[in-house]
Structure 1
Amino acid sequence: MIDGRSFDPEAGQSLHRSVLLDQAVDLLVVQPGGRFIDGTFGRGGHSRLILKRLEGDGRLIGIDKDPEAVRFGEALAAEDGRFVVYHGSFADMDDAASRQDWEAGSVTGVLLDLGVSSPQLDDAERGFSFMSNGPLDMRMDTSRGPSAAEWLNTAAEKEIADVIWRFGEERFSRRIARVVVQQRAEEPLATTRQFAELVRKAVPKKEKHKHPATRSFQAVRIFINRELEDLESGLEKAVQLLAPGGRLVVISFHSLEDRIVKRFMRDLSRGPQLPRGLPVRAEEVEPPYRTVGKALKASEPEIQENVRARSAVMRVLERRADDKGVASE
């Protein structure tokens, strides 16, 4: 999630602009009187625009792991009674929905804007970025779970190497893990600069225009926050909640995320793969979901305004309006 057009309730001003903001909300809010879930509230960029589009009985739930994001959500809820905020992962959106007495098959649209937000990246105290020095934390939810430093200082060398390879696709993962273990024996890792410098020294071949620690920071962040596990679970929960005609809109920012989203939507829109020659009619095997259009990317003007938008990919899945069955489980 590269979150944006965020509203600071104390400063009273906009801070960022959400990637693919208008496109995402245009594709999401096709039934403005319905029920919507913004699974990655951030600073409320998408939520505020969704609320502007709602009509009649339209309602919106915002979800976020980050206690600071929830604080912004509470401020928005105080000014707009159609909105409530839920502290947790979008993997628990079924719980967030049930608290509002929203049943499976009753939600009009779900939006997921994945990854880390700009406010998290830009705050050195959160430890997400190697661009500035700060505590090596990386937790989206700072109220629970081990920090990146705690994990790196205690995990087995093989586990560290496996995580950096799996979630960062870093070919020098074993070398990096070995250096981490050697360093922590002398002095525990505590800061982003420390970790970034270790990785820089461990990587023998540097990629042009890319910091050597980019992949390792991504990998550790994804692991610490269970991002891919939450994504897989969240996608399943979303389609269970979708009403006929409802849509799931997902914006991803790296290939690991997009691969999961693409495969998930492809499989649902293809439906069951039956052997040739079966005596069944087309309408009997038509899948209850369809993909809407092609994958969308940020425009060149948007990328020039926000360089973090360059990797954004948006995909949309719709439950067919004539589907009367029970949502996929």
Structure 2
Amino acid sequence: MSEEGAAAGPAHLPVMLNEAVQGLRVRENGTYLDGTFGRGGHARAVLARLGPTGKLLLMDRDPTAVAHARAEFGKDARVAIRHGNFADLADWEATLHGLDGVLLDLGVSSPQLDEAARGFSFRADAPLDMRMDTSSGISAAQFLASADERKIADVLWQYGEERMSRRIARAIVARRAEAPIARTLELAELIERTLGRREANKHPATRTFQALRIHVNGELDAVDRGLRAATDRLKSGGRLVVISFHSLEDRAVKHFLRDESQLPPTRRGLPPPVAATLRLKTIGGAQLPGDEEIAANPRARSAVLRVAEKL
């Protein structure tokens, strides 16, 4: 979810709820994994469709989200809960017997954006942290304090598609020579002074904050690893449902599904490619939220949902 998308709207509405649950094709005795619990909107809908022998596995890398999951679902015998990155779902023993469905709702969650102290947002002053899992890794402030100018610029360009990445990186390195950049508003104001207001209705720090968050949390690597792990663990006929919120995520998901569901093209004059074992088939095309949902929850406006089924 983007910072701009977090500017307004209800805090904890699950995005594309009906489309996600329909995509999973929940059976009452199936086993399903929600790899990004958040505050449980999708999980509740899946659990409501499970019978006494169904199973719901919940994961989140955010300790606060896991605490909410345990408080709400910890006494339900159908539910198992794990603190961890969905990229590592295949390491969870509970997945070894196979899954009938996996749901991944990518990016930062609404509660993480809304809690200023987490440091995801440039709209409130807070420590410049941005870690989804506050129990591990380095914060955005630590990264900016230790990385060289070229590395900072590369991160802003690669993960934020920020055209002014080098100018911002130079300003950050010059500023930290005087004092470390430790807070969100310090960074946002530095970027605004460096770039000025370039786009109407878009803060100049938007792309930088997105890039730092993706880098600090290793989000694109997690997407790649998580998609592979989910495909490995799905049973034949099991469904994979993924909701993305920005183009980098959706591009990674789209390319993975294409590679797992389509044979590589044959080029004229060249030997045919080595036959690949296809593991997935896509179900429909990319789905977008409807106007009614966007009006009720503006944070949904950039969402893209894709569904695939294990062969």
Structure 2 length-normalised TM: 0.91
Tell me, which stretches of 5 or more residues in structure 1 are unaligned?
A: 3-13, 278-283, 321-329
Superposed structure 1 runs of 4+ greater than 2 Å apart: 29-32, 76-79, 271-277, 284-288
Which amino acid in 2 is paired with 1:247?
R
Contact 2:35 2:86 in 1 (8 A): yes
Aligned pairs for 1:115-264 within 5 A: 115-204=107-196, 206-264=198-256
Q: Within 2, Cα distance between the matches of 1:273 and 1:39? A: 33
Q: After superposing the two structures, state which structure 1 stretch, 34-43 or 264-273, moved more.
A: 264-273
Give 1:204 shift: 4.8
Q: Within 2, Cα distance between the matches of 1:186 and 1:276? A: 60
Give 1:76 shift: 2.6
Equivalence for 1:57:
53
Give 1:286 shift: 8.3
Give 1:22 shift: 1.5
Which amino acid in 2 is paired with 1:235?
L
Equivalence for 2:76:
80
Secondary structure of 1:81 counterpart = coil
Q: 1:30 to 1:51 in 2, by over 3 A?
A: closer
Secondary structure of 2:301 counterpart = helix
Q: Within 2, Cα distance between the matches of 1:110 and 1:95? A: 15
1:40-72 deviation per Cα after TM superposition (whole angstroms, max 9, x unaligned): 001111111110011242101111110100101
Matched, 1:311 2:302: yes
Give the number of equivalent residue pairs: 300
Contact 2:36 2:60 in 1 (8 A): yes
Q: Within 2, Cα distance between the matches of 1:304 and 1:33? A: 35
Which amino acid in 1 is paired with 2:55?
R
1:81-118 deviation per Cα after TM superposition (whole angstroms, max 9, x unaligned): 1111111100000112x1x2x326x2100000000011
1:11-52 deviation per Cα after TM superposition (whole angstroms, max 9, x unaligned): xxx962111012101211343311111010011111111100
Equivalence for 1:324:
none
Which amino acid in 2 is paired with 1:189?
I
Secondary structure of 1:228 counterpart = helix
Which structure is richer in relative contact order (CA contacts within 8 A, separation 6 or more)? 2
Secondary structure of 1:233 counterpart = helix
Give 1:209 shift: 1.2
Q: Within 1, Cα distance between the matches of 2:26 and 2:12? A: 25
Matched, 1:293 2:265: no
Equivalence for 1:109:
101
Contact 1:41 1:73 in 2 (8 A): yes
Equivalence for 2:272:
none
Secondary structure of 1:297 counterpart = coil
1:200-222 deviation per Cα after TM superposition (whole angstroms, max 9, x unaligned): 11225611211100000000000
Which amino acid in 2 is paired with 1:137?
D
Secondary structure of 1:37 counterpart = strand
1:140-179 deviation per Cα after TM superposition (whole angstroms, max 9, x unaligned): 0001111111111111010000000000000000000000
Q: Within 2, Cα distance between the matches of 1:180 and 1:32? A: 53
2:38 pairs with one of 33, 37, 42? 42
Q: 1:33 to 1:159 in 2, by over 3 A?
A: same
Contact 2:156 2:212 in 1 (8 A): yes
Contact 2:220 2:249 in 1 (8 A): yes
Q: After superposing the two structures, state which structure 1 stretch, 200-209 or 65-74, moved more.
A: 200-209
Contact 1:40 1:63 in 2 (8 A): yes
Q: After superposing the two structures, state which structure 1 stretch, 73-82 or 244-253, moved more.
A: 73-82
Matched, 1:16 2:9: no
Contact 2:124 2:185 in 1 (8 A): yes
Contact 1:272 1:287 in 2 (8 A): no
Equivalence for 1:32:
28
Give 1:261 shift: 0.3
Q: After superposing the two structures, state which structure 1 stretch, 188-197 or 286-295, moved more.
A: 286-295
Q: Within 2, Cα distance between the matches of 1:22 and 1:179? A: 45
Which amino acid in 2 is paired with 1:103?
L
Give 1:267 shift: 1.4
Secondary structure of 1:311 counterpart = coil
Q: Within 2, Cα distance between the matches of 1:153 and 1:272? A: 44
Q: 1:286 to 1:144 in 2, by over 3 A?
A: closer
